[in-house]
Amino acid sequence: MLNELIANTMPFMPKSFVRLFAQKYVAGKYPEDAFQYTEDLNREGAVGTIDLLGEFTEEREKARETVDMYKHVLDNIVSRKLGTNISIKPTAFGALVNMDFCTENIREVVKYAYEKKIFVRIDMEDHPYTDFTIDLYLQLNKEMPGSCGTVLQSYMKRTLKDIEYIAENIDRANIRLCKGIYNEPEEVAYKDKKKVNENFLDALDLLFKNKAYVGIATHDDYLIDGSYELIKKYGLNKDDYEFQMLLGVRSELRKKLLADGHLLRIYTPFGEDWLPYSIRRLKENPAIVGSAIKGFLKGGK
């Protein structure tokens, strides 16, 4: 309860104090931090997906800066031979400014990545952008087959229908499946944890049935066990799916998944706009607060 209380008061605390708790979730402020962390992940046997933090921008100039930064990231993935792809958010590319402007910015980055044979994950944000994100994913894959994938969230009531819609429009979808983190209204999202978990496994079952490649993004033992059962049910090989985790979460699970021979991808965010992302993660997982306090009291050990 104390951890949850502290997590909920984080938005009102000084940034320097929040950073104490948030640093496990973010690679750093600069792209070099993400590159270094990715190299460490690769040595460990995992791969990454690099994400520039800074969504919901209302400035054209900042959206264009995001395009340029991702090109810089893609250049370094090639030159450094990093085992990683990239994740992008429509609102960081100008969705709040103009949808056509956003679409062209994202197309530019996806094309740049496609020419370098690097996959792009178009992240899913809150529900006003769901239709746009799915349709953009399908559109870009028609233009550049296999260039990108998107994300579906099991707390959304529409997810099973979205899977059917995607399956009707693409031969083999590439989907990251996660629970979802945005504070959505009850009319569009499940609030009961049990129902969210049930929908996750139902969605994963339907995705596998439709021969999608799925990034199974969870740290929940119940969902991982359920995923194993579905992998067995469909007789999948280990190159038919992957597991995905957040940076700084459940290192023991990370080691187990790698030891079991699964492909594991770690979400690796960086950027100066780390504060909103970190606060969302701390609210989602208040236990990290207690862990950080213990580390601080032990002098960082």
**Domains (range + CATH), the chain:** 27-270 (3.20.20.220)
Distances (CA, A) of 216 to 90, 136, 175, 206: 21, 22, 9, 13
> What pLDDT was estimated at residue 294?
47
pTM of the entire predicted model: 0.88
> Dihedrals φ, ψ of 268, to 5°?
-125, 85
Only one residue has tokens 């965010």, namely 269
What's the one-letter identity of residue 201?
L
Terminal Cα distance for the chain, rounded = 24
Q: Which residue has the higher pLDDT, 10 or 279?
A: 279
> Dihedrals φ, ψ of 269, to 5°?
-85, 150
Lowest mean pLDDT among 120-129, 140-149, 260-269, 280-289: 280-289
Does the pLDDT of residue 6 top 90, yes or no? Answer: no
Strands 84-88 and 120-122: parallel
What integer is the mean pLDDT of 101-110? 98
> What pLDDT was estimated at residue 277?
64
Determine the Cα–Cα distance for residues 157 and 36; give it in Å rounded to an integer. Answer: 39
246 beta partners: 267
- CA-based nearest residue to 289, from 275, 279, 277: 279
Neighbouring C-alpha atoms within 13 Å toward the C-beta of 95 = 22
- CA-based nearest residue to 186, from 157, 163, 160, 159: 157
> What pLDDT was estimated at residue 2?
44
Which tens digits make up the pLDDT trace of 138-155? 999 999 999 999 999 999
- What average pLDDT does the structure give for the chain? 89
Q: Which residues of 263-293 are buried (b: 16+ CB within 10 A; e: fewer)?
A: bbbbbbbbbebbbebbbebbbebbebbeebe
> What pLDDT was estimated at residue 282?
60
What integer is the mean pLDDT of 219-245? 97
Q: Which residues are catalytic?
A: 123, 176
DSSP 134-169: HHHHHHHHHHSTTSEEEEEETTBTTHHHHHHHHHHH
